[in-house]
Amino acid sequence: MTTVTGDLSGDSPTRKIPAIEIIAPRASDSWTHTRDGQPRGYIDARRLRELWIHTGTACNLSCPFCLEGSHPGDGRIPGMTLKDAQPFIQEALDMGVEQFSFTGGEPFVIRDFVHLLDYASRQRPCFVLTNATDPLLKRRHQLLPLLRNPHPIHFRVSLDFPDAARHDKDRGAGSFNKALEGIRWLHEQGFRVSIARQTDVGEVPARVEAGYRAIFRQWGIPEDLAFTAFPDLGVPGSDDGSPEITETCMEQYPTPESRAHFMCTYTRMLVKKGDRVRVYACTLVDDDPDYDLGGTLTESMTPRIMLRHHRCFACYRFGASCSAPG
């Protein structure tokens, strides 16, 4: 399955992504109908299985392709603290959540992140998207005690291409080697690690992944790490002109089971807005206020989610999911 990641951070000092939110299209019924007036496709949530926590859009890198528009000092989404997230973690546990997942920005830039991860991994397995460069490497000593927590922590590290120069072009010189150092260290300590990579049109996945394996061999990293490949999802506030999803399109997924790969059926994401925490439908739509589903997880499970965001088409077409590979 093709999957996508929230940590697409990188380094491009010349480009700043504006901190904007999508302006709702003018048509008053655009939430429920497509531009040509057809009923829009939708998802009804089933059960909360995974709670994502957005740690904030600050990042040590500033990749031009970042779907969060993250860069150093970015405050579009402020940093999450343990105190902010704790009541929601408790509510999620009461609702039977199975996993806590974290994305940014770069989570290890956020001062309170290790406390938050420590608390969450005492409750349930955790999944963290990271670029595994300096912010993580500098906090290695803080991560080690978390190995003794009752639940495992899985890290998905962004390594865009099996080519140092191509990876470093957007992320900054030396980022490729630092990420490999982070991957090797995490694996050696006993953390589970997988890789988020980018895709090229017409690529042969087996050939691309063989390129990674050759590099892993040189670094003493296991060759069987799982890969998550993602399509280009655009920067915040953009609309890539993807086709709109109608109710008729959704007949391709007629049963609740066949819709289960849409993350909004089973996940929610906590996003800090000013000094409040809000619940969004999934990890891909925090730039559109119509996907703000409320101030509690319980109330967020009721509204019907209309597939209006252009990234919904990636879920429809590719079965995109930010969740961990099985």
User: Interface with ligand SF4 by CB under 6 A: which residues?
Assistant: 43, 262-264, 281-282, 284-285, 305, 307, 309, 311-312, 315
**Between 89 and 307, whose beta carbon lies closer to ligand SF4?**
307
- Mapped onto helix, strand or coil, the DSSP state of residue 169 is helix
Rounded to a whole number of angstroms, the minimum distance from the CB of residue 230 to ligand SF4 is 13
What number of CA atoms fall less than 13 Å from residue 303's CA on the CB side?
19
* C-beta closer to ligand SF4: residue 149 or 199: 199
- C-alpha 135/C-alpha 99 separation (Å) is 24
Beta strand pairing status for 227-230 and 267-273? unpaired
Question: Which residues are bridge partners to 102 per DSSP?
Answer: 53, 128
Ranges assigned E (strand) in 96-252: 99-103, 126-130, 153-158, 192-198, 227-230
Report the nearest approach of ligand SF4 to the CB of residue 15 (Å).
24
User: In angstroms, rounded to a whole number, what is the distance separating the alpha carbons of residues 156 and 147?
Assistant: 16
Taking the least distance from each CB to ligand SF4, the nearer of 113 and 262 is 262
User: Residue 267 has what DSSP assignment?
Assistant: E
Cβ distance to ligand SF4 smaller for residue 277 or 282: 282
* Min CB(34)–ligand SF4 separation in Å: 14
Decide whether 17 or 250 has the Cβ nearer to ligand SF4.
250
In angstroms, rounded to a whole number, what is the distance separating the alpha carbons of residues 74 and 20?
Answer: 12
Q: Choose between 5 and 62: whose C-beta lies nearer to ligand SF4.
A: 5
In angstroms, the CA 95 to CA 231 distance is: 32
Complex with ligand SF4: residue 153 or 263, whichever CB lies closer = 263
Longest dimension (CA), the chain: 57
Would you say 149 or 242 has its CB closer to ligand SF4?
Answer: 242
Closest contact distance (angstroms) between CB of 149 and ligand SF4 is 29
Pairing of strands 126-130, 153-158: parallel
Shortest distance, position 291 Cβ to ligand SF4, whole Å: 6
Query: In this structure, are residues 182 and 157 in contact, taking their beta carbons and an 8 Å threshold?
Result: yes
Min CB(267)–ligand SF4 separation in Å: 7
Strands (E) across 260-312 are located at: 267-273, 276-280, 305-306
Other CB atoms within 10 Å distance of the CB of residue 1: 12
How far is residue 156's CA from residue 197's CA, in Å, rounded to a whole number?
10
Nearest-approach distance from CB 283 to ligand SF4, in angstroms:
7
Q: Give least dist CB 218 to ligand SF4, A.
A: 37
